[in-house]
A and B are shown apart, each in its own frame.
Chain A
Amino acid sequence: MTGRISKFNVVSLVFGFAFLYLPILTLVVYSFNASKLVTVWAGFSTVWYRELWHNRGLMEAAWVTLRVGLLSASVATLLGTMAAIALSRYRRFFGRTLMTGMVYAPLVMPEVITGLSLLLFFVAIDMDRGFWTVTLAHISFTMCFVTVVVQSRLLTFDRSLEDAAMDLGATPTVTLFQVTLPLIWPAVAAGWMLAFTLSLDDLVIASFTTGPGATTLPMKIYSQVRLGVTPEINAVCTILIAIVATGVVVTTLLNKRRLVRQARDERLAAGA
């Protein structure tokens, strides 16, 4: 590798980033527009953020989304982690191949089909559609993502650590909570984040499974946009972007700190 950056690389970089981030940048910039017309710039203002605060419909939808996300991500993480441990620990049990296939299927299942089948199921068992049906639907479709993330971590997990714990007198339960979980914790947390994000931005499945009084934020935004884009929508989207970006930056910094600490430990070990 040479230290010099070629013109070609600079151009590729600029075009790449522009392609990815120009639409988002437009949205963020226009959220600070003073004009009510989305496409006409009339000076800087935070008025739409204040308006947003008073828009009961949007705020209620945000609150529903947050509750659905927190609850479904937590339950999905619990179930998904359990499934991942079962699948990677017990190499041979009846129906293992079938179960593995069934865990992965929702990853590639078209959302429309997942949504429709869930709707038909809720109708069949005569369950009133609303907050709980959306939450259940989100648990069912995010769980497999958690399983995939945790299972890939368990693939590289040194099983002799669990053997050692049991050899030292820890029961399987103690081993799980004192050795396995503390070590795969970052993967479990990443699984939770993934599940939460997927739930936060799901429109299709929520539309199928929701009912009166449980409109999620993506549904609200989508329905409002059909009546015309208002700068309020830009504002709410900017806030969502800010939340996601903060999450990404924090994760990156934590990772970086871990790597720095690891490098320091290795130096210490070498010098010891």
Chain B
Amino acid sequence: MKSLGSIRRDFAPWLDRGAAPFIRFEGVTKRFGDFEAVDDLSLDVFEKEFFALLGGSGCGKSTLLRMLAGFETPTKGRIVLDGEDLSGIPPYRRPVNMMFQSYALFPHMSVEKNIAFGLRQEGMARSEIADRVGQVLKLVKLEDYARRKPDQLSGGQRQRVALARSLAKRPKVLLLDEPLGALDKKLREETQFELADLQHQLGITFIMVTHDQEEAMTLADRIAVMDRGRIMQVATPAEIYEAPNSRFVADFVGNVNLFEGTVRSVEGDRAVIETDAGLTIAVVSEAKLGTSQKVSYVLRPEKLKIAADPIPGPNAMAGEVWDIAYFGPVTAFHVRLDNGATVKVSMVNATRQGALQLTWHDRAFVQFDEDAGLVLTQ
């Protein structure tokens, strides 16, 4: 398979066979009574990586984070950080710090006291504490708010204080539990970039838990997609999106057309698939296919072309515009094809009139290339 790049092109320790992982989860299982939150999970995270655990609620991503922080003990397996087995080490002796979803700022302490709290536990000298607090406050641009109480701050400022507090001790790993979850959309986008910059600047390993795929895609070097206590795929954002390894990942990340079908003929790396909905699709497959094999075909909506006139090329089809959603930069169409199947197509509005040419119940033609989609054999 072609390797798809991560955000930082020159940073890909997971491809280096000689690189030692910084954090290792080795066959970790966590049960709460009968409920298996994390199921025999193994995972390597590398130094200076920005790693995201992505999944729906109850998929075990937060439990995994809490086990790394030391708030939960694995039922089975072990976690190794920088060569040190963390089993039996209480949270207050682990070289990791966490930024909580609720921020968990101490309401009875000022901003600077909050940040100094962790440093005081280390028995650091008073003057040194003051220096360090000043540094991190500058880092998150809150120098003027040192004496305020958390109640006297806005949501965005609280988020920065929480970040500053968890960075003050210079942990080996920073854990972030839905770090931007409580912010509004505009602020979230701004903060995303700041967070990414901060991580590059500090060179600390970040592990983030999120249910927001956009957040994971923007921030992370690699993403682990989780479902029911297991990891479904670990890969760079581009790989997760363009080369999902399963129907679940394809469906969970982004919008997708998923076709179930059977291989009718194979010729080298080319094949023809007949879908259960009655479409005949010509594909180029990287995976080896055999005749009458059951496969799934994954096709992202933006890989299709749509027009009011027939489009030349392979996989040209015709149908009726069933639904239109206008998003500004793109317009999404639902097209009901002549044989009854529905496909999702999204079109970039490259010109101002782009979206306006087609409207509800118009005759529409769609087309996609043989290598536009991905054949999944599982």
A contact set with B: CB distance below 8 Å: 158, 160-161, 163-171, 174, 178-179, 182-183, 262, 265-266, 268-270, 272
Contact = CB atoms under 8 A, between A and B. Distances in A.
B121 A170 contact: yes
A164 B104 contact: yes
Contacts of B336: none
B153 A269 contact: yes
Contact of B98 (A167, A265, A269): A167
Contact of B90 (A158, A166, A183, A262): A166
Contacts of B121: 168-170, 174
B113 to A, nearest CB: 10
Interface in B85-119: 90-93, 96-98, 100-102, 104-108, 117-118
A262 B118 CA distance: 27
Contacts of B92: 166-171
Contacts of B105: 164
A262 B151 contact: yes
Contacts of A163: 69, 71, 91, 98, 100, 104
B102 A160 contact: yes
A133 B117 CA distance: 44
Contact of B69 (A167, A268, A269): A167
Contacts of A161: 104, 106
Contacts of B93: 169
A178 B118 CA distance: 12
Interface of B: 69-71, 90-93, 96-98, 100-102, 104-108, 117-118, 121-122, 145, 148-149, 151-154, 157, 165-166, 169
A166 B98 CA distance: 10
Contacts of A170: 92, 117, 121
B97 A167 contact: yes
A182 to B, nearest CB: 5
B118 A169 contact: yes
Contact of A183 (B69, B102, B107, B118): B107
A158 B149 contact: no
B172 to A, nearest CB: 13
Contacts, number: 79
Q: Is the interface of A mostly helix, strand, loop or mixed?
A: helix
A170 B94 CA distance: 11
B30 to A, nearest CB: 16
B99 to A, nearest CB: 9
A119 B176 CA distance: 58
A166 B108 contact: no
B151 A160 contact: no
A272 B153 contact: yes
Nearest to B155: A269
Query: Which has the most chain B C-beta neighbours within 10 Å: A165, A166, A179, A265?
Result: A166
Query: Which has the most chain A C-beta neighbours within 10 Å: B104, B153, B166?
Result: B104
A183 B108 contact: yes
Contact of A168 (B71, B90, B117, B149): B117
Contacts of B148: 268
A168 B148 CA distance: 20
A182 B109 CA distance: 10
Contacts of B122: 169
Contacts of B145: 272
Contacts of A269: 151-154, 157
A158 B102 contact: yes
Query: Which has the most chain A C-beta neighbours within 10 Å: B71, B91, B93, B108?
Result: B91
A269 B149 CA distance: 10
Nearest to A266: B151
14 contacts: A161-B106, A163-B69, A164-B165, A165-B117, A166-B90, A167-B69, A167-B97, A168-B165, A170-B92, A170-B121, A171-B92, A179-B106, A265-B152, A268-B148
